Structure 1
Amino acid sequence: MDKRTQTCCFTGHRHLPAGEEEAIWKRVQEHLIPLLEQGVRYFGVGGALGFDTLVAEKLLDLRRQYPQIRVILVLPFRGYQSRWTAAQQARAARIESRVDKVVYCCDAPSREAFLARDRHLVDGSAYCIGYCTRATGGTAYTLRYAEKQGLQIWNVIKSI
């Protein structure tokens, strides 16, 4: 069986509006829970601060209720978090210690490493849940790429 039909990736901004994390997660769950109920079990997360970190932590917690969840952390290169604060690095290490698999897309830091990470997430998925408020940047790129690849996409920005 093609695992893509059982896989959803996530993409979103590094900076989330203060105090909005739980509301954003609630909107993610509106799409995530039906996917779980239809047999999606693999979830690719990019390992960045902000949306990726929120989703990874929540997915790992959700495994208590849905033990079939498998979380795949897809990082652009080894040492990706080396310039983060100590608290951010500790949070990332806690996530990394709990995920089912870690994938490194490139050997060295580069712009291409981030694009390779984004493409890897999309290329292995049938679904994509994003948090994108701008038409430019990595998240917008990833959603456009996902659309071109035929993924079913949901953008969980707040409805106006």
Structure 2
Amino acid sequence: MDNIHINKSKTIAFTGHRHINGDNIAPLREELTHTIHQQYLNGYTTYIVGGAVGFDLLAAEIVLELQQEFTDIQLLCAVPYAGHHIYFRNESMQRYIHIADKATANIILSTHYYDDCSLRRNDYMIEHCSLLIAYYGQSSRSGTGYTVRRAEANNIPIINLYKQSKP
């Protein structure tokens, strides 16, 4: 794992569903871009994504786009284990590889897969952020649900963009 200092008070983590309805992608991209931009203006400069398909990749791409305008933005990819992306479909794998290449740091939490490694990655993100941006439709048995509950238990504010988009 990379040894990097993270200022929790200036760090946002992202969590969200892996599947986003095609009709929701454009409005979600617009709302997420606006939200990240606003939070940057509020002093948040470090953003952690978990490297999963769906919302994570979308959030990472937007952070990288905003990094062109705000050069002090840092993107950290916290992934559960080395090579986790090899099971992605080709398009998502290529997107992930591009993001990982452009990220400020890639934090690989384990050299191998093990039970609950994704939950441990989610714990890492919650331990290192002071705000969570989610795309969460109340599915309690998901990793996103777990992460939202952990944020709530740790009194971390949550901006949930799901309720602002079409279900």
TM-score normalised to structure 1 length = 0.92
Deviations 1:50-69 (A, max 9, x none): 00011111110111122121
Q: Which residue of 1 aligns with 2:117?
A: 113
- Please tell me the residue identity of whatever aligns with 1:6: K
**1:127 is the counterpart of 2:136:** no
Asked whether the equivalents of residues 14 and 49 of structure 1 are also in contact (C-alpha less than 8 Å), the reply is: yes
Contact 1:45 1:56 in 2 (8 A): yes
Structure 1 Cα separation of the partners of residues 93 and 117 of structure 2: 19
Unaligned runs of 5+ in 1: none
Aligned-partner SS, 2:80:
strand
Identity of aligned residues (%): 24
Alpha-carbon distance between aligned partners in 1 of 2:141 and 2:31, rounded to the nearest angstrom: 22
TM-score w.r.t. length of structure 2? 0.89
2:55 is matched with: 51
Q: Which amino acid aligns with 2:128?
A: G
Unaligned runs of 5+ in 2: none
Aligned-pair distance for 1:30? Answer: 4.1
The answer to whether residue 88 in structure 2 is matched with residue 81 in structure 1 is no
- Structure 1 CA distance, aligned partners of 2:39 and 2:12? 8
Q: Residue 106 of structure 1 contacts residue 116 of structure 1 at CA under 8 Å; is this kept in 2? A: no
Distance (Å, rounded) in 2 between the aligned partners of 1:106 and 1:23:
35
Verify: 1:138 aligned to 2:138, yes or no: no
Alignment RMSD (CA, Å): 1.7
